[in-house]
Structure 1
Amino acid sequence: MGYDPKTAVSRHPRSMERLLFGQITSRLSRAIAGTHRKALIEALHDNRKLWTTIAVDIASDDNGLPDQLRGQIFYLAEFTHHHSSLVLKDGADPAVLVDINRAVIAGLSSEAAA
């Protein structure tokens, strides 16, 4: 299925972020509940990619968020990467990653409502 500009939906960047977080968080939740390690590895990988993209955006001089918030978000990206490694290496509980993503989704949702 190709890109059709007539059917493309124009979305606010925060709406797209919520959508991506929702999709990845859902996959991560299903993978945690399931028994297939490959699904968990793939979900963790996609979650890391999302957080890497966010970290790059947050670190950009063009990012307009307040410095304190940027620092907090960057910390979450670092934590996500580190904890994902612990999940894969040591069997740490991946549920905390779902909790973090859901908190971000809630924050993005309340920001959109404001």
Structure 2
Amino acid sequence: MSLDAYRRVRTIAESPRATEYRLMSQITGEMIHARDSGLSGIALVPALHRNREVWSAFSSTCAAPGNQLPNELRASIISIALWVDRYTSEVVAGRDSIEDLITVNRAIIDGLANENLQAA
């Protein structure tokens, strides 16, 4: 089976939460790899950029009219996304560590994993 065919099947079979779990796991893994490789500051930008993009997408989705998540959850996701955006700038500038971003993502991954287990 070609890679494109596999991706199409996965897209059809995978729930939105499973997709979010997979994406957050990949991005967090990239940040962990960057940290473990001793990268800091501007050298972290590739991994941090993907993380910032996904949080921006989560925020935009939560702010969109018709989003059916509970209001409190939507507000929390938007708040985290705003924090990720600000904090990422501090990490790139070398004033903070990537560790807190990894910790936040791991908490989200754990929540998505628990939700996926309950749905199964």
Aligned match for 1:34, one of 10, 32, 37 = 37
Separation in 2 of the partners of 1:29 and 1:22? 10
Q: SS of 1:8's equivalent?
A: helix
CA deviation vs aligned residue, 1:26-69 (integer Å, no higher than 9, x gap): 00011012134565210000000110110111111121111111
Q: Percent identity?
A: 30
Q: SS of 2:9's equivalent?
A: coil
Say whether residues 1:57 and 2:61 are aligned partners. Answer: yes
Amino acid at match of 1:32: R
Q: SS of 1:14's equivalent?
A: helix
Amino acid at match of 1:81: D
Q: Higher helix share goes to which structure?
A: 2
Aligned to 1:8: 9
Separation in 2 of the partners of 1:62 and 1:7? 27
Give the aligned CA root-mean-square deviation in angstroms.
Answer: 2.0
- Aligned pair in 2 of structure 1 residues 35, 62: CA closer, same or farther (>3 Å)? same
Aligned to 1:93: 97
Taking structure 1 as the reference length, the TM-score comes to 0.90
> Displacement, 1:106?
0.8
Amino acid at match of 1:74: I
The gaps in structure 1 that reach 5 residues or longer are none
